[in-house]
């Protein structure tokens, strides 16, 4: 196994790329307080590795959708189906990482233990995750003393434990400077290149242009578009997405 690879912690556990869906979301609905927060949301993410960027204004329902797909909350209606050979786990990274009050190394060892990785395999995996996230130099530092960019890379390394076929990233670079953002994007692209499917929420349209293979546009709890990124940025099909990209969408 090449040392430069990040993901093949369980090389035989990955689904083969090809036709068909990894996730099929059908008529998903989520209501709270008499409001329909997600309404008849339907789309598929293909089994092919790549980066889907989820765009939409504040309050569109992007975080709710990620939490539903990640199984943290349950829908009121509709279904989320995974392809029969999807073995999980699903990795998640949020805007504000929740890290244990321990060293970087201890945070990752804890995640490896929770994932029930056999003890004899943990040292090698730990080393690979530290290299992948460029955190080897601060492995003994308290996780909460890291810079914002380092904390997000640690959150990403933790999300990679167990070789996830799907990563849900909710505005992971929202508070990072350009260099830290570039480092995080490079890590995301490398992970996608090694076979994972990524669903990433961002408000950074430059980032979306840089890394998206396809774009989902959500507004007021409804999907308006799901198109290849080149199509989306050349000419969004919906007036709402066009207005969002031009900064004139009224919520």
Ligand X SMILES: Nc1ncnc2c1ncn2[C@@H]1O[C@H](COP(=O)(O)OP(=O)(O)OP(=O)(O)O)[C@@H](O)[C@H]1O
Cβ-contact 166, 86 below 8 angstroms:
yes
Q: Shortest approach of Mg ion to residue 131 CB, angstroms?
A: 31
Map tokens 């434990």 to a residue. Answer: 161
Nearer to Mg ion, 37 or 237 (CB): 37
Which residues contact ligand X by CB under 6 A? Answer: 32-33, 37, 56, 58-64
Q: Which of the listed partners (Mg ion, ligand X, none) does 58 bind, with a CB threshold of 5 to 8 Å by partner kind? A: ligand X
Q: Taking each helix axis as running N to C, give the angle between helix 178-193 and helix 148-159, from 0 to 180 degrees, rounded to the nearest 10.
A: 10
Contacted entry of Mg ion, ligand X, none for residue 248, CB cut-off 5 to 8 Å set by kind: none
Judged by CB, which is closer to ligand X: 39, or 150?
A: 39
155: partner contacted, choices ligand X, Mg ion, none (Cβ within 5-8 A by kind): none
Cα–Cα distance, 41 to 32 (Å, whole number) = 16
Of all residues in the shown chain, the one whose CB is closest to Mg ion is 63
Cα 184 from chain centroid (whole Å): 12
* CB 37 to Mg ion: min, Å: 12
Measured CA distances, 6 to 50, 208, 251 (Å): 15, 23, 40
Q: Which does 61 bind (CB under 5 to 8 A by kind): ligand X, Mg ion, none?
A: ligand X
Q: Across the chain, which distance is largest between two alpha carbons, in Å?
A: 55
**Of 63 and 141, CB closest to ligand X:** 63
Look at residue 60 and give the partner it binds from Mg ion, ligand X, none, a contact being a CB closer than 5 to 8 Å depending on partner kind: ligand X
Binding flag, residue 63, Mg ion (CB under 5 A) = yes
The CA dihedral of 212, 11, 71, 209, to the nearest 10 degrees, is -10
Which of 163/225 has CB closer to ligand X?
225
Q: Is 175 in the site for Mg ion (CB under 5 A)?
A: no
For the CB of residue 78, give the shortest distance to ligand X in the complex, in Å.
Answer: 16
CA distance linking residue 89 with residue 242, whole number of Å: 35
Phi, psi of 226 (to 5 degrees): -140, 100
φ/ψ of residue 167, rounded to 5:
-120, 130
Is residue 83 a contact residue for Mg ion (CB under 5 A)?
no
Instruction: Give how far Cα 54 sits from Cα of 135, 153, 177, 219, Å.
Output: 28, 20, 21, 11
Would you give the binding string for Mg ion spanning residues 7-46, x where CB under 5 A is met? ----------------------------------------
Please report, as ranges, the residues that interact with Mg ion according to CB under 5 A.
63
């Amino acid at each position: 196994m090449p040392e430069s690879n990040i993901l093949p912690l369980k090389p035989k556990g990955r689904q083969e790329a090809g036709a068909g869906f990894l996730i099929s979301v059908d008529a998903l609905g989520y209501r709270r307080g008499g409001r329909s927060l997600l309404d008849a949301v339907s789309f598929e993410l293909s089994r092919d590795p790549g980066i889907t960027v989820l765009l939409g204004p504040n309050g569109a329902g992007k975080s709710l959708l990620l939490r539903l797909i990640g199984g943290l909350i349950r829908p009121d209606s509709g279904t989320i189906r995974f392809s029969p050979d999807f073995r999980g786990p699903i990795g998640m990274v949020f805007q504000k990482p929740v890290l244990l009050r321990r060293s970087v190394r201890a945070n990752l060892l804890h995640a490896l233990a929770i994932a029930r990785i056999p003890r004899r395999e943990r040292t090698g995996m730990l080393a690979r995750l530290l290299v992948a996230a460029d955190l080897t130099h601060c492995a003994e530092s308290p996780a909460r003393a890291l810079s914002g960019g380092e904390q997000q890379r640690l959150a990403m390394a933790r999300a990679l434990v167990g070789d996830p076929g799907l990563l849900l990233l909710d505005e992971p670079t929202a508070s990072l400077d350009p260099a830290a953002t570039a480092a995080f994007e490079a890590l995301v692209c490398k992970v996608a290149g090694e076979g994972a499917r990524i669903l990433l929420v961002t408000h950074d349209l430059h980032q979306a242009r840089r890394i998206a293979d396809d774009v989902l546009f959500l507004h007021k709890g409804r999907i308006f578009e799901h198109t290849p990124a080149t199509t989306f940025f050349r000419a969004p099909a919906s007036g709402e997405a066009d207005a969002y990209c031009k900064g004139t969408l009224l919520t």
